[in-house]
Amino acid sequence: MPNGSLEKWLYSHNYCLDILQRLNIMIDVAAALEYLHHGSATTIVHCDLKPSNVLLDKDLVAHVSDFGIAKLLDDRDSIIQTNTLATIGYMAPEYGSEGIVTAAGDVYSFGILLMETFTRKKPTDEVFEEGRSLKSWVKEALPDSVTEIADANLLGEENFAATRDCILSTLEVAVDCCVERRIDITDVLSRLKKIRTTFEKSVPMTSL
């Protein structure tokens, strides 16, 4: 993939993704997960979703990669257990503590990835200690302090209100991905597409 990984684009000083590019990338990832979870009779659970496993082609279209620890679930087994652990910071609680693998675990990882993409903070950042986490940090900031946690690169003076509202709505989806009773990836994809449509309607075409 000529544009490397999402991780490269988020943390390099030589690259910067604007808000619409980030939203499009996360919609691509959600669409990939929806296909894995619902595209056939066998559910494919990726189990290790993170920025380094999201690769970008020449048009910045995102592709989910690295299925080394993916699991297959059929109609009889919507839950399985494994001793193979994924990356710290992105694993759902039930996966990290009990090795329980479900499609909902991917949704949790997607929520963390979504938070990271719009805050530019890794879940393993040194600021998250003594019981704090990326998840709790984002949740505590919504809705009134969203501009304090958003990636500063996104918050220029131009289209400030529309950008703030877009980030807020996106992070609300991310929080809903990380609660105990999570939304399905199909609902995640639908909500992100609506957020994109709303943002595009509120911003002059010359700004996009």
CATH number of the domain where residue 128 is located: 1.10.510.10
Query: What residues contact 160, with CB distance under 8 A and at least 6 apart?
Result: none
pLDDT at residue 78 is higher than 70: no
CA 3 to chain centre: 19
Give catalytic status of residue 151 as yes or no.
Answer: no
Q: Is residue 94 part of a domain?
A: yes
Q: Which residue range(s) make up the domain with 185?
A: 6-194
Q: Is residue 122 part of a domain?
A: yes
In this structure, what are the phi and psi dihedrals at residue 174, rounded to the nearest 5 degrees? -60, -45
Mean pLDDT value of segment 122-151: 93
Mean pLDDT value of segment 98-118: 94
Q: How many domains, in total, are found in the chain?
A: 1
Q: Is residue 201 part of a domain?
A: no
Residue 144, both tokens:
């009134």
Q: Is residue 1 part of a domain?
A: no
- Classify residue 140 by its DSSP letter: H
Stretch (H or E) spanning 71: strand 71-73
pLDDT for 199 equals 96
Cα distance between residue 170 and residue 130, in whole Å:
27
Mean pLDDT value of segment 132-153: 95
- This prediction's pTM: 0.93
Among candidate residues 18, 28, 48, 75, the one labeled active-site is: 48
